[in-house]
């Protein structure tokens, strides 16, 4: 049975039909629900550093207990490496967002894992859908400036959340700070909206309307949808889903978890169809961003390129 979002049905079956994702493939994987390549690379590095640093300290401690750590031997070097690895891990944890942002820039610069094409495709999709939805542009930067995870994505195109600009909104707090839904695959029923969805039911001052949430859904979800459409999978989806989740916590009327999940699937279904219809425009904007065209040039590209 289709689950209703703000603007219609949004079941997993409908999402599969819209995107062509086969039943044996989890929806979350190609659509990048929990995928953020820079964070994954950082976690792999940090984990490996922790393991090798810990092993180094164990080896150094064992060697010292046996009287093998003499001046000029390899032991002191192993010990210093172990302590250095632990210290670096602590610093990475303290400056988590900054380190992810820095790594994102390096991956873009050196085009690791095809990161450049993926990042530009995401930014082009954000810009194209903001134009189609009528949301104004706050700022545009020709350079790639990273994707922090804890704050709103700061790619090339900064989009206002509403036509009146970004309102001053204090979002509802979520229990444990965790998303109330975890997957596009399995339905979150109304009975699950209690414990995990214990949100303040009071209206939020200056909160987003249902139509504004719809537009934000399309602009934000354009990134993983375009990345999947063009490159077969999304590697930078997590910041987008987190941003949409935060936006729904700033809705004027409380959105329970089942509706949050339904809204997200509806947004993916709708935006995928729009991107398919405007595939030529998307490719043209990607090309413009690859040569670092100005915003005026990109706007001209959108308006003159046929569907």
The SS3 call for residue 71 is: coil
- Phi–psi pair at 138, nearest 5 degrees: -80, -45
- Residue-wise pLDDT tens for the chain (307 aa)? 334 444 556 788 999 999 999 988 999 999 998 887 766 677 777 888 778 777 777 776 666 666 655 545 566 677 777 778 778 778 777 777 777 778 777 887 888 888 899 989 999 999 999 999 988 888 888 777 666 545 555 567 788 887 777 777 888 877 655 565 678 888 876 655 554 456 677 888 888 999 999 999 999 999 999 999 999 999 888 888 888 988 888 898 888 888 888 899 999 999 999 999 999 999 999 999 999 999 999 999 999 999 8
Exposure b/e, 41-75, CB count within 10 A at least 16 = b? bbeeebeebeeebeebbebbeebeeeeebeeeeeb
**What are the start-end ranges of the E strands in 40-189?**
137-140, 157-159
Query: By C-alpha distance, which of 91, 83, 94 is closest to 52?
Result: 83
- Give the separation between CA 191 and CA 48, rounded to whole angstroms: 41
* Opening angle at CA 158, ends 155 and 161, nearest 5: 130
The pTM assigned to this predicted structure is 0.81
Distance CA 307, CA 305 (A): 7
Check residue 195 and give its pLDDT: 47
**How much is the pLDDT for 3?**
42
**Nearest alpha carbon to residue 227 among 305, 63, 116:** 116
Residue 208 DSSP label: B
């Amino acid at each position: 049975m289709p689950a209703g979002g703000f603007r219609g049905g949004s079941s997993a079956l409908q999402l599969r039909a819209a995107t062509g994702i086969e039943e044996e493939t989890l929806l979350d994987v190609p659509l990048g629900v929990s995928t953020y390549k820079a964070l994954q690379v950082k976690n792999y590095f940090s984990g490996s550093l922790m393991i090798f640093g810990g092993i180094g300290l164990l080896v150094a401690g064992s060697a010292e207990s046996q009287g093998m750590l003499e001046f000029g031997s390899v032991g002191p070097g192993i010990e210093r490496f172990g302590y250095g690895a632990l210290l670096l891990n602590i610093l990475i944890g303290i400056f988590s967002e900054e380190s992810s942002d820095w790594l994102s820039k390096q991956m873009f610069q050196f085009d690791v894992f095809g990161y450049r094409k993926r990042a530009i495709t995401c930014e082009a999709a954000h810009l194209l859908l903001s134009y189609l939805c009528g949301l104004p542009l706050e700022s545009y930067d020709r350079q790639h400036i990273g994707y922090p995870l804890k704050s709103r994505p700061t790619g090339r195109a900064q989009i206002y959340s509403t036509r009146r600009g970004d309102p001053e909104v204090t979002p509802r707090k979520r229990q444990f700070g965790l998303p109330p839904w975890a997957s596009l695959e399995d339905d979150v029923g109304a009975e699950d909206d209690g414990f995990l969805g214990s949100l303040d039911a009071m209206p939020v001052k200056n909160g987003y309307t249902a139509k504004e949430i719809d537009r934000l859904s399309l602009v934000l979800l354009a990134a993983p949808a375009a990345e999947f459409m063009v490159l077969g999978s999304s590697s930078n989806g997590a910041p987008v889903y987190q941003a949409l989740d935060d936006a729904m916590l700033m809705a004027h009327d409380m959105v329970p978890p089942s509706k949050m999940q339904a809204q997200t699937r509806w947004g993916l279904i709708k935006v995928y169809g729009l991107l398919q219809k405007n595939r030529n425009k998307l490719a043209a904007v990607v090309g413009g961003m690859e040569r670092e065209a100005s915003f005026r040039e990109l706007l001209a590209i959108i308006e003159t390129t046929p569907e």
